[in-house]
């Protein structure tokens, strides 16, 4: 299981490192695991696409925590978004889990794995029933595509053009 030291690094290092790791969920007495294939990084109050750019609020305060906790919120009134907080305390940053093996899309994977806001502000550890494991998959850096983030045009050209989306080449 990935521990706090893994998450307590700059989000732009954590995000590509999550590709090829396994998202593990314990639900109804069963444990299932899927390889992570696509993520996006959101970094700091200066990043206009990051929710924390509006400062610390009731919703975003979890992003100001130390890395290693979940940030789960509702978008468009319908879909739960799964993020894991990274970096040091008081530096708001998180990685959006955008795709896993078998479920391509952040709204679809949360629905498939029964992930919702009850995980918000919970530790990414077995005790919360949702965590991430390294199962020895070897991913070469050249097999990870760097792409612009999706759905963040509202943040303006500077931030929407940053290639902070990481995706496994074969997907």
Partner DNA sequence: ACGATGATGAAC
Partner DNA sequence: TTCATCATCGTA
Residues within the interface to DNA (CB under 7 A): 40, 42, 49-51, 54-55, 57-60, 63, 71, 73-79, 81, 83, 94, 96, 105-108, 149-152, 154-155
Q: How far is the CB of 59 from DNA (least distance, A)?
A: 3
Task: Tell me the C-alpha distance between 41 and 57, whole Å.
Answer: 20
45/14 Cα distance (integer angstroms): 18
CB of 141 within 8 A of CB of 16? Answer: yes
Closest to DNA by CB, 122 vs 142, is: 122
| Complex with DNA: residue 33 or 61, whichever CB lies closer | 61
- For the chain, what's the residue count? 171
* Minimum distance of DNA from residue 45's CB (angstroms): 11
Give CA–CA dist 55/134, Å, rounded. Answer: 33
Judged by beta carbon, residue 31 or residue 75, the one nearer DNA is 75
Provide, rounded to whole angstroms, the least separation between the CB of residue 19 and DNA: 16
| Residue (6 or 60) nearer to DNA, CB | 60
State in angstroms the smallest separation of the CB of 136 from DNA.
27
Residue 169 phi, psi (nearest 5): -55, -40
Residue with smaller CB distance to DNA, 107 or 129: 107
Calpha distance 117→131 (Å, rounded): 15
Q: How many CA atoms lie within 13 A of 92 on its CB side?
A: 21
CB of 128 to DNA, least distance (A): 19
């Amino acid at each position: 299981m990935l521990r706090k030291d893994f998450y307590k690094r700059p989000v732009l290092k954590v995000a590509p490192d999550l590709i090829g790791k396994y998202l593990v969920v314990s639900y109804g007495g069963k444990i299932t695991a899927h390889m992570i294939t696509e993520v996006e990084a959101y970094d700091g109050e200066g990043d206009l696409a990051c929710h924390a750019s509006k400062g610390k609020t009731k919703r975003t305060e979890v992003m100001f925590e130390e890395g290693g906790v979940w940030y789960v919120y509702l978008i468009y009134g319908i879909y739960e978004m799964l993020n894991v907080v990274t970096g040091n305390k008081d530096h708001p940053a998180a990685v959006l889990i955008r795709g896993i093996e078998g479920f391509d899309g952040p709204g679809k994977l949360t629905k498939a794995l029964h992930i919702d806001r009850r995980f918000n502000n919970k530790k990414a550890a077995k005790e919360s029933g949702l965590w991430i494991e390294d199962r020895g998959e070897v991913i070469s850096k050249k097999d990870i595509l760097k792409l612009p983030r999706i759905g963040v045009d509202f943040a303006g050209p500077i931030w929407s053009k940053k290639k902070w989306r990481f995706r496994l080449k074969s997907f």
